[in-house]
Amino acid sequence: MQDGSKTGRDRETGPAEREGGRALEPGLHFIATPIGSARDITLRALDILKSADVLAAEDTRSLRHLMEIHGVALAGRPLVAYHDHNGAAVRPKLLRALEEGKTVVYASEAGTPLVADPGYQLARAVIEAGLPLHSAPGPSAVLTALTLSGLPSDRFLFAGFPPNTRGARLNWLAEFKTIPATLVFYESPKRIREMLRDSVQTFGAGRQAALCRELTKRFEEVRRGNLEDLLEGLEAAQVKGELVLVIDRVPAVEIDEEELAALLKAALSQGSLRDAVDQVAADTGLARRKVYQAALALEK
């Protein structure tokens, strides 16, 4: 039902207010932006950028540049910075705009919002307020790296950036040691060697992996091999650009009940039940729950 009010620009101005030939729906619109090549922007994302009343971005300079490349005029509309450091202060303003019936678009600095991006809290706030939320899918460094890695993609886990310090990183990586899924990490050039060394220690030198650099950009590069090969290949190399590390899932191990019992007995002779279960689960790739149940059966 129309109330006759105007929100920002005149709602009857025509084509500039439309997405793909239809009026842009009220609410918050997440759009994915290119991770390298500006030509990867989608037609739908451009329509939304042209039509929204308020534009919000993790990096306003990046969004403004992208709009200039594609001939999208700001036309006096608000362009608001929304990032980790100001999110708590800016969220109420964006929610207020949505409550007034305005359309708001949010763009990550690069890639898909909420993936290693501050948009999560904004999405939660919009949902909790009962306001409309929309997503226009598009570029993703995670999916691009997974596609190029040549590793299994039917089941994967994106873990984001590792901790900066070695002790915290090793403890963090240990959480993924027995997960039966391909692992995807982001890392910076200055810490990638340390990340690979700790990955060798955690997952084993022979675990297959792919290191993707500068995806969709001019100097895109994908190195494939086991973790030790990737580490050795970087020893004398000068690493620049954004990196995605993809690591193969834990290999399946065929093991019968007798073999499992023997492994558990050996491990139990060296330590506690918990330590034995952790060790055998890590060595075999079996689910910890299954190993724990087998250990309990031995103690009966």
The token duo for 67 is: 């709009």
In this structure, the answer to whether residues 266 and 240 fall within a common structural domain is no
At 168 the three-state DSSP class reads: helix
Residue ranges making up the domain that contains 212: 142-247
As for how many domains the chain has, the answer is: 3
Tell whether 156 is covered by a domain.
Answer: yes
Cα–Cα distance, 57 to 125 (Å, whole number): 16
Radius of gyration of the chain (CA): 24
Cα–Cα distance, 282 to 253 (Å, whole number): 11
In this structure, the answer to whether residues 31 and 134 fall within a common structural domain is yes
Tell whether 4 is covered by a domain.
Answer: no
The token duo for 227 is: 């973790």
Are residues 102 and 8 in contact, defined by beta-carbon separation less than 8 angstroms? yes
Tell whether 103 is covered by a domain.
Answer: yes
In this structure, the answer to whether residues 133 and 230 fall within a common structural domain is no
Q: Tell whether pTM > 0.95.
A: no
In this structure, the answer to whether residues 225 and 295 fall within a common structural domain is no
Tell whether 80 is covered by a domain.
Answer: yes
5 — pLDDT class (breaks 50, 70, 90): very low
Tell whether 116 is covered by a domain.
Answer: yes
In this structure, the answer to whether residues 163 and 186 fall within a common structural domain is yes
Polymer length of the chain: 300
At 262 the three-state DSSP class reads: helix
pLDDT tens digit sequence for 242-295: 999 999 998 766 788 888 999 999 999 988 999 999 888 877 777 788 899 999
Q: What is the pLDDT of residue 202?
A: 95
Cα–Cα distance, 137 to 34 (Å, whole number): 11
In this structure, the answer to whether residues 237 and 295 fall within a common structural domain is no
Q: Is the pLDDT of residue 64 over 50?
A: yes
pLDDT tens digit sequence for 76-105: 999 999 999 999 999 999 999 999 999 999
Q: What is the pLDDT of residue 226?
A: 97
Mean per-residue pLDDT, 40-65: 98
The residue type of 59 is D
Lowest mean pLDDT among 1-5, 116-120, 266-270, 285-289: 1-5
Cα–Cα distance, 53 to 23 (Å, whole number): 12
First-to-last C-alpha distance (Å) of the chain = 70
In this structure, the answer to whether residues 148 and 98 fall within a common structural domain is no
Q: Which of 99, 124, 139 corresponds to the end of one domain? A: 139
Q: Is the pLDDT of residue 106 over 70?
A: yes
Cα–Cα distance, 191 to 214 (Å, whole number): 16
